[in-house]
Chains A and B, each alone.
Chain A
């Protein structure tokens, strides 16, 4: 085996083992033929120093994602995993869109109109809401552009506006928060590729979004006029819903002949895990709080009990759902390819 072949075989390790057993030799043979040149000197050089071209690397990486998320073939454990990730991304985007409704209201209110970046932030928020609406209509390319634009725009807004650690929190808190968002965006980009199954019920998703949207709008209005202050916010209801869903899952798993479908359990684990990290970061803000005049209200006066309870409950739901998801996923067969008839 020459070095080029070795490098290509290393690249193929991205693919699931069962897939490699069936296709690796064939792929290597085709790849080496593709790279073959009529010039013997060039061949010798390529075999020693050549590397798989970037386009081939991307193609193998894309195939690996499709196979692991079950979009290439709609069977087995990978298909269930893919459905779970897609459901989690949809829910995350819906919750995010609710939050951005508040940004739109604030930027349009008297309190927000003075801000030099207000119009830009409002545009970013509209993009985020648009991303959810587009995805619920299965316009996945539009949704991806809007979502990346919204979160990229949000990041740029903070950079341009000179967002420079106003509270003096440790840098790892901001990096972790950014990383969690980037991971969800990456999940959106890869799990909703063109071969992924269609989103069946646009009406259902929009109804769910519309049912809670007025509450978030009213909350934002009350906050922007100073009527509502303090630690209460509607995301606590979202967390409560996650905890209730976790409770239902546990009860159903204990009853005979009944349980929540695996992809929904996996989605619950992912959403609970995401929200747990976000809340744990907020809680870390209290523990690492700096003593400066800019310290936010919520970090003054003692550990916020509601935040501690929320974080603990989300951690429990995450642990229970992740355990149950792994258990149920093991019951789904890993796709076994038929023996090669040749």
Chain B
């Protein structure tokens, strides 16, 4: 019989169940809510929408995209060739849209309590 778990609690399932998402997650999903986009475009648009509060380095962006894809919130859309390089586009899934809506509602609820 295995020893009991003694303190490290693995997180199961999506981190968005009732928990506010990070600012980076939020802006990436928000950018993709406007339509499919490639990695460079996502980073640039997230910077612009957040008034440069969110500045995504390439390593951070793909860590985040990898996780969002794994959690089913984002998926690959298509691939295009740009300057002789393959450029992959991503789009929001229905689950991603629902998670974004839920987060917006939570933020609105918090704002209404504060005001």
Residues of B contacting A: mostly: mixed
Interchain CB contact under 8 A, B10 and A63: no
Interchain CB contact under 8 A, B59 and A60: yes
Q: Indicate whether A120 reaches chain B with its CB closer than 8 angstroms.
A: no
Interchain CB contact under 8 A, A74 and B11: yes
Nearest A-chain residue to B87, judged by Cβ = A29
Give B28-65 as 1s and 0s: 1 = Cβ < 8 Å from A's Cβ atoms: 00000000001110010000000000000111111100
Q: How far is the CA of A31 from the CA of B62 in the complex (A)?
A: 11
A209 to chain B, nearest CB (A): 12
With A73-B70, A87-B6, A200-B9 known as contacts, the answer to whether A27 contacts B87 (CB < 8 A) is no
Residues of chain B in range 53-93 having any CB-CB distance to chain A below 8 Å:
57-63, 66-67, 70, 75-79, 82-83, 85-88
With A29-B87, A72-B63, A72-B67 known as contacts, the answer to whether A258 contacts B43 (CB < 8 A) is no
Q: How far is the CA of A86 from the CA of B6 in the complex (A)?
A: 12
Give A316-342 as 1s and 0s: 1 = Cβ < 8 Å from B's Cβ atoms: 000000000000000000000000111
Residues of A contacting B: mostly: helix
Q: Indicate whether A155 reaches chain B with its CB closer than 8 angstroms.
A: no
Interchain CB contact under 8 A, A74 and B12: yes
Q: Indicate whether B18 reaches chain A with its CB closer than 8 angstroms.
A: no
Residues of A within 8 A of B9 (CB): 197-201
Q: How far is the CA of A95 from the CA of B38 in the complex (A)?
A: 49
Q: How many residues of A contact B (CB 8 A)?
A: 47
Interchain CB contact under 8 A, B2 and A261: yes
Residues of A within 8 A of B5 (CB): 200, 261
Q: Indicate whether B114 reaches chain A with its CB closer than 8 angstroms.
A: no
Nearest A-chain residue to B88, judged by Cβ = A26
Interchain CB contact under 8 A, B10 and A55: no
Interchain CB contact under 8 A, A23 and B60: no
A58 to chain B, nearest CB (A): 8
B49 to chain A, nearest CB (A): 18
Q: Indicate whether A205 reaches chain B with its CB closer than 8 angstroms.
A: yes
A-B complex: 10 closest residue pairs judged by Cβ atoms: A59-B59, A200-B9, A59-B57, A30-B39, A60-B59, A33-B40, A63-B63, A63-B59, A29-B85, A342-B76
A: which residues have CB within 8 A of B? 19, 22-23, 25-34, 55-56, 58-63, 66-67, 72-74, 79, 83, 86-87, 90, 197-201, 204-205, 258-261, 263-264, 340-342
